[in-house]
Structure 1
């Protein structure tokens, strides 16, 4: 969740150095730095559940799973974001200690204050990553997972998952029950907005 921005231009190099010592995480967009606020219990639990499931699935595969504190670099548009969960299977990412440039999967757990940004400008930025095959949005309040998958023509297709079905992530050949993602999460009733 972004809570404020700086008032002057910061170079990408200054941003990366500052993040190494900052006690607050910031996302970086075109020379501006945006502080991030904390997340809800449901948000953190969903993120942790998915990280654990993916880490177990990908163990020994050469792919790496990151959560919360690893930045995704979108070099073409001069941006750095902190995805909730990110997977990279590209060996080139091994050379970057504080960010990854070639993720195949990015997951954002939605919050009321950032949902529009995650669906709009952030997704537009992520689509610039040629390596990205899937972008997943997860509601922490209802069993609702939306997987945007790049098809062979380079177009993004939506694969929605609801209720207690199976979620499939083709980028890492992973499937799990929706209930596994939402384990220990207190959900809203279906008839409540």
Structure 2
């Protein structure tokens, strides 16, 4: 006797979701509404609908420099929308994976973490560009998430101030390597040889 799997219907209206419920990546895959969301430990977080022009410019500049630097190298650069799943165990199925986020930019050096759905496991480097609606999440929930899952470097960009802060994982905890401004050239411990000129990254930021 053949068993038929019941196919769960798609959900195209975010308002039917319970904000306080716990959701999995399997639930996430059923959502077809236009609004972008992330799951952190099963909790639903809305993303900003349309990043500001300065956000887009900064993201493009950083991604462009990383792509150029990594051309021909093993590490790969990806930028939103790109799903990064953080299962508690690498073999956890979708129904038992409760965290999926869309970093602005990430660098993945371990190709075994990559599949057609995105990245399953911690990227080596993540860049988040703050916006008014996501700043608290990026500085709190995501900071703790990336630290907990051993993302080696976490770059936080403050667009209004034209500042980039780099956190480096040391003994399982993030340690700030400093806040860098428009006049600085930053480097990366996990990407030896990279030199990112922040005057180009913040070229369109006034002040």
TM-score bucket (shorter structure): 0.7 to 0.9
Aligned to 2:131: 111
The match for 1:35 among 10, 29, 46 is 46
Question: How far is the alpha carbon of 1:89 from its aligned partner?
Answer: 0.3
The match for 1:14 among 24, 27, 45 is 27
Question: How far is the alpha carbon of 1:11 from its aligned partner?
Answer: 2.9
**Preserved contact between residue 69 and residue 82 of structure 1 (Cα < 8 Å):** yes
- Alignment length, in residue pairs? 181
Aligned to 2:164: 145
The match for 1:71 among 76, 83, 86 is 83
Question: How far is the alpha carbon of 1:22 from its aligned partner?
Answer: 4.2
**Preserved contact between residue 143 and residue 164 of structure 1 (Cα < 8 Å):** no
CA RMSD across the alignment:
2.3
Aligned to 2:173: 155
**Preserved contact between residue 65 and residue 86 of structure 1 (Cα < 8 Å):** yes
**Preserved contact between residue 70 and residue 100 of structure 1 (Cα < 8 Å):** no
Higher strand share: 1
CA distance in structure 1 between the aligned counterparts of 2:87 and 2:106, rounded to whole angstroms: 16
CA distance in structure 1 between the aligned counterparts of 2:159 and 2:15, rounded to whole angstroms: 23
Aligned to 2:183: 164
Structure 1: unaligned runs, 5 residues or longer: none
- For 1:34, what is the secondary structure of its paired residue? strand
Superposition TM-score, scaled by structure 1 size: 0.83
Between 4-13 and 48-57, report the one with greater CA deviation: 4-13
* C-alpha spacing 1:56/1:81, structure 2 compared with 1 (3 Å): same
Q: Between Structure 1 and Structure 2, whose CA radius of gyration is higher?
A: 2
**Preserved contact between residue 90 and residue 102 of structure 1 (Cα < 8 Å):** no
- For 2:58, what is the secondary structure of its paired residue? helix
CA distance in structure 1 between the aligned counterparts of 2:100 and 2:159, rounded to whole angstroms: 23
* C-alpha spacing 1:170/1:123, structure 2 compared with 1 (3 Å): same
Aligned to 1:90: 110
CA distance in structure 2 between the aligned counterparts of 1:103 and 1:156, rounded to whole angstroms: 15
CA distance in structure 2 between the aligned counterparts of 1:24 and 1:118, rounded to whole angstroms: 18
Question: How far is the alpha carbon of 1:145 from its aligned partner?
Answer: 0.6
Structure 2: unaligned runs, 5 residues or longer: 1-13, 89-96
**Preserved contact between residue 83 and residue 107 of structure 1 (Cα < 8 Å):** yes
CA distance in structure 2 between the aligned counterparts of 1:35 and 1:56, rounded to whole angstroms: 32
